[in-house]
A and B are shown apart, each in its own frame.
Chain A
Amino acid sequence: MSEKILLRHEDVAGLDRIDVYESDGGYQAARRALTEMQPAQLVELVKASGLRGRGGAGFPTGVKWGFLPKDNPKPRYLCVNADESEPGTFKDRQILEGNPHLLLEGILISAYAIQSHTAYIYIRGEFVHGAKVLEKTIADAAARGHLGRNIYGTGFDLDVHVHRGAGAYICGEETGLIESLEGKRAYPRVKPPFPATFGVFGAPTIVNNVETLACVPPIVTRGAEWFKGIGPEKSPGPKLYCVSGHVQRPGVFELPMGTSLRDIIYTHSGGIPNGKKLKAVIPGGSSVPVLTADEIDVPMDFESVAKAGSLLGSCGVIVMDETTCMVRAMQIISHFYHDESCGQCTPCREGTGWLKDLLTRLEEGGARQHDVDLLLRVSDNMMGNTVCVLADAVAMPVISFVNKFRAEFEEHLRHGGCPWRAAPAPTVTAAAAHA
């Protein structure tokens, strides 16, 4: 796909400025949606497009919108999940900082579609620049009549607020996000009830990812058929792939959904540097099962990656070459989840630390005979037994790392620590800086 939709700012200089965005045809989709279309028509359009949530779970966006209760007298809220925190994931940041009006236009159309008059953009605290850009974007758009009262003379009102997080991964979980937005500790909520019926301040709420909402304006402009025509039928559309780790050109690439993982690594990212061989790839952010070098001939869409035994997740592709110590890599990942477990549910609160402990002993010495099996048992005891999926997010990689690289774990056990420790420490970069 040569034409960039989500990363159009890479082709059009200054697209983050409202005059450039407008002269590039920006806000035409919103104007058309608000003045020519009924909200229900928009919901149907998005359903027909096959757009699926880009936050990781891939739930059909139009279907989600359809879950809002018809008879609830409370106001409705649109919540934008801009808490991008999954290690290896840095796609939403590109939109937030480079193409913010596309997001805002998506918010406007979507808010109109679900008849919400208040939208919150929950942005991770570390995105200081992104938050500033959004504030300016909102002010500029309001000054041009794209937000506020009686937008385009249709009588539709919309206010958009930017809410900065304080640095917790768990705020990316949609109900944790809602709790945090309400000023509480970001404990994910016990479900049911789901946000569509009981969300922000107990009112019906839709939580959508940044990239998801950025797909909405082009769907309005070019139609559902155009969108469906990109990539596989069940997971269509343009997609942002974040590539980090041992590749020549790490970065974010906009490609059709279903692009081969091999192509992403070897063509778009330039392959493995220094003539090294590929060892493993985490395809969807640090929380999904790892794939070996033999398993990368997989189209990057929700169904295909799931069939290959992993998950598309947030499309955070983390590439590891042959110098990578898989125990050390998993230790680093487990350190993150131990640090970020909110501590609400017993298995996750206690299990994340236990896993880190076991992995640290394997890597640094002091492991016991059955510790490799214990890694699997503890992971198994965490999986599926908690309020949210953070426990699964560390259990899944552990299980896949151990099962696919068992020999390496056993070697650590025999050696009483990492056998390659004397050599320059092999590490994996969790997230690569993007120019």
Chain B
Amino acid sequence: MPTLEIDGHSVTVEDGLNVIQAAERVGIEIPHYCFHPALTIAGNCRMCLVEIEKAPKLQIACNTRVAEGMVVRTHTDRVKNVHAAVLEFLLINHPIDCPICDQAGECKLQDYYMDYDRQASRFPLEHKVKKHKALDIGPLVMLDQERCILCTRCTRFLEEITKTTELGVFQRGDHCRIDLFPGKRLENLYSGNVVDICPVGALTNKDFRFRARVWYLDHTPSVCASCATGCNIDIHHRRGEMFRWRPRQNLDVNQYWMCDEGRMSYRRYQGEGRLLQPVVRDGGGWAVRAWEAVQRDVVTRLREIVGAHGAGAIAGIASAQATNEELFLFARLVRDSLQGRTAGLSWSPPDASQDDLLIDRDKNPNTAGLRLLTGADGSVDTLLSQVEQGNISALILLRTDLAPSHGQDVITRLGEQVDYVVVLDTHYGPTAEIADAMLPIASFAETDGTFINRGSRVQRIRESIRPPAQARAGWLVLSQLDAEFSRHAVPADANAVFTELAATHAPFRHLSYAAIGDHGLPIDAGAAAKPPAGQ
């Protein structure tokens, strides 16, 4: 743990860090473009030049490892001059097309120009080197060679992280340009990350291009729900609409990256197919009713069934798409309050994608939570055989779409064998065929809650945008139903649900929303091996 001095601040950091990272610890920004903590040192942008005592020349902070007694100065006139000089060099051939550039507002050229340069142009516009703009280099990514500052973050990412090397540097001097190698397209499974790490507007996301000014976007920390990895993300949104997802750094989960499949999955949650209003079956069609009316209707029907067939006649299936909070309330409603039985479904296609970087073949965000709170997968088949035997009269389906896993025929038969089916889901799906009531609930981007990823890590999701139309948070719908059949009060928020969950389930006992924070915490694996409390 060497101790060094940066601009008069003494800082002790772990060995192996560079001066940029050490300075960050004491809140000192050393501007840089090419350095990225997950990539090899390129040392080419020259923006991070600083004074190191005893070194006659300025040194690049990115390639300077901290050492005991090192004295660093980042704000001397010499350093300020070189910062301004490097920025001037970067900008002489830059097109300065900020008004039409998507990066504007989150561009390091803009930021550093304001912070470190602010001098008038000394270079005539007509002498700028012309390169290609709007090059379509892959399904997700557009390249503007004129905006590029040749920091090579993208080429290093493709060389070192995906190991696919689609992009390279061609030509020399100020005619250098990033381009595809002949015969290649940027179409690996992680191509979108080059847009995130590009410090300027050279690489832009085709899906996001020209759709929003970034300063109008809010962002909410969350977790991708596309697979069991649980990559940490930021959801960028405005006025109830999501515009993009970007990976959020979590060294224990996804480092700095996310896959393209996950990145683009946000589109699944807005637009076509969402359930927007609570509905009840009305002859061959659907009747839209007020929430309270539908809820009253569901409660009445469930009471009738319990009265007619006894407690065991009600069953529920929840999927690994549900949050821990929902699964906890679901189990409490069906098992405790209605004295019914539950089953859990975590299904992924047999040909599901997977790799050794981030993509998991389990396409559910919360399989681990489902196992802990609802029971094993096989229980769906057990439950279905109970249906076959005519023991089940009512079925509650939480985020469970049985069609891909069991086929439409099974759904149809279920409809014939079960008197009453309630569906709680985000989308109008195959189970609508047999549903008697459908309650629209929030997608994971519209509700607070937690998932447990493949590494047994509990991670928070947050309500980034309001659920569309009449849809409500799943925990709220479930707890309101439960309150009708029990003395349980309706909790104030998801946090209150989790507090109850943690109090009654040993693997969660050490956890709270505050403790989990933005980067998640593992469950108590020792406690998880024992049967869940309250069983």
Residues in A lying within 8 Å of B, measured CB to CB: 168, 170, 185, 187, 190, 338-354, 357, 374, 381, 384-387
Contacts and interface: CB of A to CB of B under 8 A. Distances in A.
B487 interface: no
B129 interface: yes
B169 interface: yes
Contact of A343 (B92, B123, B174): B174
Contacts of B92: 350, 354
Given A190-B60, A385-B58, A385-B86, A346 B45 contact: yes
A381 B85 contact: yes
Contacts of A346: 44-47, 86, 89-90, 149-150
A139 B171 CA distance: 36
Nearest to A387: B43
B145 to A, nearest CB: 12
B82 interface: yes
Contact of B86 (A338, A342, A344, A347): A347
Contacts of B45: 345-346
B380 to A, nearest CB: 54
- Chain A interface secondary structure, helix, strand, loop or mixed? helix
Given A343-B169, A384-B57, A350 B93 contact: yes
B41 A353 contact: no
Given A168-B172, A346-B47, A349-B176, 7 more contacts: A190-B41, A346-B90, A353-B93, A357-B127, A381-B85, A384-B57, A385-B49
A125 B122 CA distance: 38
B174 A339 contact: no
Given A190-B41, A357-B127, A384-B58, A347 B85 contact: yes
Contact of A339 (B42, B63, B173): B173
B57 A353 contact: no
A353 B47 contact: no
Interface in B148-197: 149-150, 168-169, 171-176
A368 B101 CA distance: 31
Contacts of B60: 190
B172 A341 contact: yes
Interface string B91-130: 0110000000000000000000000000000110001010
A49 B172 CA distance: 40
25 contacts: A340-B173, A341-B173, A341-B174, A343-B171, A343-B172, A343-B173, A344-B150, A345-B44, A346-B86, A346-B149, A347-B46, A347-B89, A348-B173, A350-B90, A350-B92, A352-B173, A353-B129, A353-B174, A354-B89, A354-B92, A374-B122, A381-B82, A381-B86, A385-B46, A385-B82
Contacts of B176: 343, 349
A352 B173 CA distance: 8
Interface string B391-416: 00000000000000000000000000
A168 B325 CA distance: 64
A381 B81 CA distance: 8
B448 interface: no
A342 B173 contact: yes
A340 B90 CA distance: 18
Contact of A354 (B41, B43, B81, B123): B123
A354 B122 CA distance: 10
B58 A381 contact: no
Contacts of A384: 57-58
A246 B241 CA distance: 74
Contacts of A349: 89, 150, 173-174, 176
A381 B172 contact: no
A258 B72 CA distance: 41
Interface in B57-92: 57-58, 60, 63, 81-82, 85-86, 88-90, 92
B57 to A, nearest CB: 5
A341 B129 CA distance: 15
A339 B172 contact: yes
Given A341-B173, A341-B174, A352-B173, A387 B44 contact: yes
Nearest to B64: A192
A57 B169 CA distance: 29
Nearest to B168: A185
Contacts of A357: 127
B175 A343 contact: yes
Contacts of B89: 346-347, 349-351, 354, 381
Contacts of A338: 173-174
B44 A344 contact: yes
Contacts of A187: 44
Interface string B34-62: 00000001111111010000000110100
Nearest to B86: A346
Nearest to B122: A374
Interface string B239-273: 00000000000000000000000000000000000
Nearest to A360: B127
Nearest to A371: B122
Contacts of A168: 172
A230 B123 CA distance: 51
Nearest to B171: A343
A381 B123 CA distance: 15
Contacts of B41: 190
Contact of B46 (A340, A352, A386): A386
A72 B142 CA distance: 45
Contacts of B171: 343
A346 B46 CA distance: 7
A342 B152 CA distance: 14
B174 A345 contact: no
Contacts of B46: 345-347, 385-386
A353 B128 CA distance: 10
B269 to A, nearest CB: 42
B271 to A, nearest CB: 43
Nearest to A189: B43
Interface in B274-307: none
Contacts of B85: 347, 381, 385
Most chain-B Cβ atoms within 10 A of its Cβ — which of A350, A351, A385, A387? A350
Most chain-B Cβ atoms within 10 A of its Cβ — which of A168, A340, A354, A357? A354
A352 B41 CA distance: 24
B150 A343 contact: yes
Given A350-B93, A381-B89, A385-B58, A342 B47 contact: no
A341 B173 CA distance: 5
B42 A190 contact: yes
Nearest to A344: B44
A348 B41 CA distance: 19
Contacts of B47: 346
A295 to B, nearest CB: 26
A341 B88 CA distance: 18
A42 to B, nearest CB: 33
A41 B129 CA distance: 55
A216 B422 CA distance: 91
Contacts of B127: 357
B318 to A, nearest CB: 54
B58 to A, nearest CB: 7
Nearest to B57: A384
Contacts of A170: 172
Nearest to A383: B57
Contacts of B174: 338, 341, 343, 349-350, 352-353
| 3 nearest A-B pairs in the assembled complex, by CB-CB distance | A343-B176, A381-B85, A190-B43
A374 B127 CA distance: 16
B91 to A, nearest CB: 9
Contacts of A350: 89-90, 92-93, 174
A357 B90 CA distance: 16
A32 to B, nearest CB: 42
Contacts of A347: 46, 85-86, 89
Contacts of B172: 168, 170, 339-343
Contact of A381 (B44, B88, B93, B149): B88
Nearest to A342: B172
B86 A185 contact: no
A338 B63 CA distance: 26
